């Protein structure tokens, strides 16, 4: 089976609907058809300052949330990035193949560093997309399921793979981004043209999967809607309503057209009230499963240990090929 690989950063206590609909949901559906590797990107998380105790806690919460979302440890390798040292090791080799100007063009770095002031941003934040390329290429996956915000990083990954293959010998498979168009960019509930984001959204703009369900319901009811009163999908004219329709459609498995029909002649109020109920129905069992899993540390430890072993076996082989091809003397 071709492989699939993706990662997620443990940079908040809870994942949000953007992470779930843009990425995690695809992980779950792809795990039967592909050989899956899914990791918690703890090394990416420290590109910005983290509190150590909180980071450790969030890594375990992340693992529990993956399982609660439906990532099955029997089918998928779930692991911590730092447990597989080959990520950082290949990251270094790829940094030596990356042009400074090429790295500078990454828009996510521009956005994130602008917030901190470029001088204050870490070198790790700057080279993050190169480590991400290593994360991916080690597993020679066919697909990388991500949200739209990661497309540019996937392009860099492909460029680096091609460069390495060309300069040395064909080693890497060129991975393809797997972006589900409908859910590629879930937007902020209060600012419907900006992406829902852990670091940039205001509390009212973001639905966290582990929020108290009643809090999420309230956020949906007070989401910004657009002028007019018609419940209709139109991303340009009605970004707020369209975002809510996307969320509604995905969590209830109902086509957008059927929802438009259902709410024809009704106002935004009815629509948001029903969506709030659907969200409560969706997040309540998710939250309960996550909290249960967090009570069972031994089980979580077993899952991530087994995941790391499975991942290391693949990653070490790729790294050995790379070290050989760049001309390192093998250890005896
Ligand atoms: N709003 C979104 N819509 C669709 N997909 C999204 N993703 C994130 N936000 C949205 C996808 O979620 C996956 C994991 O993201 P991540 O944790 O690695 O980091 P991120 O993309 O940086 O997520 P955030 O919330 O935006 O965090 P901050 O604010 O720290 O940057 C990825 O596949 C991503 O595409």
Strand partners, 5: 37
Q: Is 170 annotated as a binding residue?
A: no
Residue 76 is predicted with a pLDDT of: 98
324 alpha carbon – ligand 1 mean position (Å): 35
9 alpha carbon – ligand 1 mean position (Å): 8
Residue 113 is predicted with a pLDDT of: 87
Kindly report the protein residue whose alpha carbon is nearest to atom 7 of ligand 1.
19
Decide: residue 52, CB within 10 A, 0-12 exposed, 13-18 middle, 19+ buried: exposed
Pocket of ligand 1 (CB under 6 A): 8-9, 11, 18-19, 22-23, 41, 146-147, 149-150, 184-186, 195-200
CA distance 81 to 41: 5
Kindly give the number of the ligand 1 atom that is closest to the alpha carbon of 200. Answer: 29
pTM, 2 dp: 0.94
Q: Is 198 annotated as a binding residue?
A: yes
CA distance 247 to 242: 9
ipTM for the complex shown:
0.94
147 alpha carbon – ligand 1 mean position (Å): 7
Residue 119 is predicted with a pLDDT of: 83
Instruction: Supply the angle between the helices 239-252 and 268-295 in degrees, to the nearest 10.
Output: 50
Whole-number Cα distances in Å, 228 to 223, 232, 234, 239, 241: 15, 10, 12, 12, 10
Residue 226 is predicted with a pLDDT of: 86
Q: Is 73 annotated as a binding residue?
A: no
Decide: residue 255, CB within 10 A, 0-12 exposed, 13-18 middle, 19+ buried: exposed
CA–CA–CA angle 298, 301, 306 (5° rounding): 125
State the alpha helices, DSSP H only, in the chain.
17-19, 25-30, 42-45, 52-69, 86-95, 100-104, 107-116, 123-137, 151-167, 213-221, 239-252, 256-262, 268-295, 297-326
Residue 55 is predicted with a pLDDT of: 98
* pLDDT tens sequence across 112-158: 888 887 688 999 999 999 999 999 999 999 999 998 989 999 999 99
CB 110 within 8 A of CB 69: no
**Using CA of residue 85, residue 179, residue 206, residue 293, what is the dihedral sign?**
negative
Active site residue 195: yes
26 alpha carbon – ligand 1 mean position (Å): 14
Kindly report the protein residue whose alpha carbon is nearest to atom 12 of ligand 1.
19
Those residues of the chain that have pLDDT short of 70 are: 118
178's CB contacts (< 8 A; 6+ apart) are 4, 26, 30, 143, 144, 145, 146
Closest to 212 (Cα-Cα) out of 109, 284, 149: 284
Residue 277 is predicted with a pLDDT of: 98
Q: Is 242 annotated as a binding residue?
A: no
């Amino acid at each position: 089976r071709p492989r699939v690989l993706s990662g997620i950063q443990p940079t908040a206590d809870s994942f949000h609907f953007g992470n779930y609909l843009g990425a995690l949901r695809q992980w779950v559906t792809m795990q039967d058809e592909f050989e899956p590797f899914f990791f918690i990107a703890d090394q990416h998380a420290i590109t910005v300052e983290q509190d150590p105790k909180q980071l450790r806690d969030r890594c375990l919460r992340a693992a529990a949330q993956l399982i609660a979302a439906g990532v099955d440890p029997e089918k998928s390798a779930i692991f911590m990035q730092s447990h597989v040292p080959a990520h950082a090791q290949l990251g270094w080799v790829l940094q030596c193949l990356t042009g400074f100007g090429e790295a500078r063009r990454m828009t996510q770095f521009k956005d994130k560093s602008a917030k901190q002031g470029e001088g204050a941003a870490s070198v790790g934040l700057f080279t993050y997309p190169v480590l991400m390329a290593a994360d991916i290429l080690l597993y020679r996956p066919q697909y990388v399921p991500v949200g739209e915000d990661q497309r540019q990083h996937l392009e860099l990954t492909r460029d680096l793979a091609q460069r390495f293959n060309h300069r040395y010998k064909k080693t890497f498979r060129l991975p393809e981004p797997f972006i589900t168009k409908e859910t590629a960019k879930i937007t902020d509930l209060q600012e419907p043209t900006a992406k829902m984001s852990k670091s940039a959204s205001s509390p009212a703009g973001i639905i966290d999967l582990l929020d108290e369900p009643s809090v999420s319901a309230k956020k949906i009811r007070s989401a910004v809607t657009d002028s007019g009163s018609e419940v209709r999908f139109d991303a340009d004219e009605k970004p707020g309503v369209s975002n809510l329709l996307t969320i509604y459609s995905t969590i209830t498995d109902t086509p957008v057209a059927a929802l438009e029909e259902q709410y024809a002649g009704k106002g935004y109020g009815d629509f948001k009230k029903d969506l709030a109920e659907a969200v409560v129905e969706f997040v309540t069992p998710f939250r309960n499963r996550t909290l249960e899993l967090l009570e069972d540390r031994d089980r979580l430890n077993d899952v991530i240990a087994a995941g790391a072993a499975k991942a290391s076996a693949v990653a070490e082989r790729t790294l050995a090929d790379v070290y050989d091809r760049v001309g390192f003397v093998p250890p005896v």
